[in-house]
Amino acid sequence: MLVRVKSWSTPQIPVVAGRGKRPTVFCSSHRGPADTPRKLKEARLYVCGITPYDATHLGHAATYVAFDVLQRVWRDAGVDVTYVQNITDIDDPLLERADARGVDWRELADSQIDLFRSDMEALRVIPPESYIGAVEAIPRVVEAVQRLLDSGAAYTLDNGDVYYRVGTRIDPPFGSASHLERHEMLELFAERGGDPETPGKEDPLDPLLWRTERPGEPSWDGGRLGPGRPGWHIECAVIAHDHAGFPLTVQGGGSDLVFPHHEMCAAHATALTGKQFAKAYMHVGMVGYEGEKMSKSKGNLVLVSRLLQQGEDPMAIRAVLLSHHYRSDWMYTEGLLVEARTRLAAWRRAAQSVTDPDAAEELLQDIRGNLVDDLDTPTILDDLDDWAESVGAGGTREATQLVVDAVDALLGIDLR
């Protein structure tokens, strides 16, 4: 089969002297520190990828840069990382947008995936080893849906659409990823792509697994399911299973995916394999603009590609993103970019100067220490400001190089 989707090229990552510790990250499911093994050697990281229309806005970029930092910190601690990301290259919102623009959905998806890849490259995000489109995963999704039907975890409506039974007995049980009350689940389900009102469903929360062919919509061979196309959550469950394996060390994405997406992925995964889906869930706060969550549906977007076109330095964009803790919600303003440019210029000037070796060593420990503590990048950027003010009084170029390498390897900010 032709593999249509390629990831992007890997940035150079300098080796930094010594070794960092494994990070303690906040797990949204435990609502506290994730209980990853202290001696973790291999990590499986799955981060929910884009639905390719109107990408890449700064909210997407914040999410992928946050997990990029996680990956860098793991690598610095000697952890071997398997990183998988999907592309939701077939789904209702993509088809609706293509229709509205009067373009072919495949062309829309391809052009947006291209933009996303070049944006990620510019931001120096380490690419996933497996970058998998929903479309290429369809044969595996069909097998999985068929198995869920055969085991009684799914049912077919009169029109042929297949739904997952959220009441299926699984361990860990449905609800244990998000810990939400049923009324909260119902509200979020309706808001975020679910269809509580569809007649014939056993439970309003049951999510779609396979949508049978409709006139004018693309469809694929579904074997005994009949022609159709996959639901959203089963896509990520299957891709994560096939390319990373369960349990994932971390399942990641923006906080808009806590429910229903990650809860349903977990349910599908456990119903299919008997295994826990993920040991920990990490969710990045929502980036907003002009008073609202930045989202494709609202259209209040600041696109990375547009900033780059206007000549913006990608490292300044990265500095804006890292100046907020990954878990906090924040509003983007142009002022943040102006501030980031000034800081970056100061760090670059400092990178041309000499640093006291003890101060450099201390800063390296400080960077590592703050990263280990749930990726506290804002504190590190403040400490870099202090470093930039203190250089030049004496010291060596080698000491400066140590700082430059650490900032590059651990934060992905290139000061050259």
Residues interacting with ligand 5CA, by CB under 6 A? 48-51, 59-60, 62-63, 86, 88, 236, 253-254, 256-257, 284, 286-287, 293-295
From the list ligand 5CA, Zn ion, none, which binds 133 (C-beta under 5 to 8 Å, kind-based)? none
Nearer to ligand 5CA, 15 or 100 (CB): 100
Count the neighbouring beta carbons within 10 Å of the beta carbon of residue 385: 15
Q: Are strands 42-47 and 80-87 parallel, antiparallel or unpaired?
A: parallel
153 binds, among ligand 5CA, Zn ion, none (CB under 5 to 8 A by kind): none
Cβ nearer to Zn ion, comparing 222 with 230: 230
Q: Give the Cα separation of 337 and 320 in Å (integer).
A: 6
In the complex, what is the shortest distance from the CB of residue 254 to ligand 5CA, in angstroms, rounded to a whole number?
2
| Apex 283 CA angle, 279 and 288, nearest 5 | 175
Give residue for tokens 């002022």.
Answer: 335
Nearer to ligand 5CA, 286 or 411 (CB): 286
What are the φ/ψ torsions at residue 4 (nearest 5 degrees)? -80, -35
Nearer to ligand 5CA, 147 or 296 (CB): 296
Choose the one of ligand 5CA, Zn ion, none that binds residue 294, judging by a C-beta under 5 to 8 angstroms depending on kind: ligand 5CA
Which one of 40-48, 157-165, 211-219, 401-409 is the stretch in contact with Zn ion (CB under 5 A)? Answer: 40-48
* All residues at 6 or more sequence positions from 197 whose CB lies less than 8 Å from its CB, including other chains: 204
The C-alpha atoms of residue 219 and residue 143 are separated, in whole angstroms, by 16
Residue 79: name its binding partner from Zn ion, ligand 5CA, none (Cβ under 5 to 8 Å by kind).
none
- Between CA 296 and CA 56 the distance in angstroms is 10
**Choice between 132 and 399, CB closer to ligand 5CA:** 132
60 binds, among ligand 5CA, Zn ion, none (CB under 5 to 8 A by kind): ligand 5CA
Give the nearest distance from C-beta 368 to ligand 5CA in angstroms.
Answer: 26
Q: How far is the CB of 252 from ligand 5CA (least distance, A)?
A: 7
Q: Which does 62 bind (CB under 5 to 8 A by kind): ligand 5CA, Zn ion, none?
A: ligand 5CA
Least distance from ligand 5CA to the Cβ atom of residue 48, Å: 4
Q: For 278, phi and psi rounded to 5 degrees?
A: -145, 140
State the binding partner of 188 from ligand 5CA, Zn ion, none, CB within 5 to 8 A by kind.
none
To Zn ion, the closest distance from the beta carbon of 120 in angstroms equals 17
Q: Is 236 in the site for Zn ion (CB under 5 A)?
A: yes
Q: Which is nearer to ligand 5CA, 286 or 337 (CB)?
A: 286
Q: Among residues 48 and 234, whose Cβ is nearest to Zn ion?
A: 48
Report the C-alpha gap between 121 and 370 in whole angstroms.
25
To ligand 5CA, the closest distance from the beta carbon of 288 in angstroms equals 7
**Which one of ligand 5CA, Zn ion, none interacts with residue 293, CB within 5 to 8 A by kind?**
ligand 5CA
- Min dist CB 265 to Zn ion, Å, is 6
Q: Residue 207 binds what, of ligand 5CA, Zn ion, none (CB under 5 to 8 Å, by partner type)?
A: none
Cα 15 from Cα 75, distance rounded (Å): 10
CA neighbours closer than 13 Å in the CB half-sphere of residue 362: 9
Cβ 231 to Zn ion shortest distance, Å:
11
**Of Zn ion, ligand 5CA, none, which one does residue 132 interact with (CB within 5 to 8 Å by kind)?**
none
Q: Taking the complex as a whole, how short is the minimal distance between the CB of residue 166 and ligand 5CA, in angstroms?
A: 19
Using CB under 5 A as the binding rule, the residues of this chain from 44 to 63 that contact Zn ion are 48
Segment lying near Zn ion (by CB under 5 A), choices 100-108, 158-166, 235-243, 353-361: 235-243
Minimum distance from residue 28 beta carbon to ligand 5CA (Å): 12
Which residues of this protein are in contact with Zn ion, per CB under 5 A? 48, 236
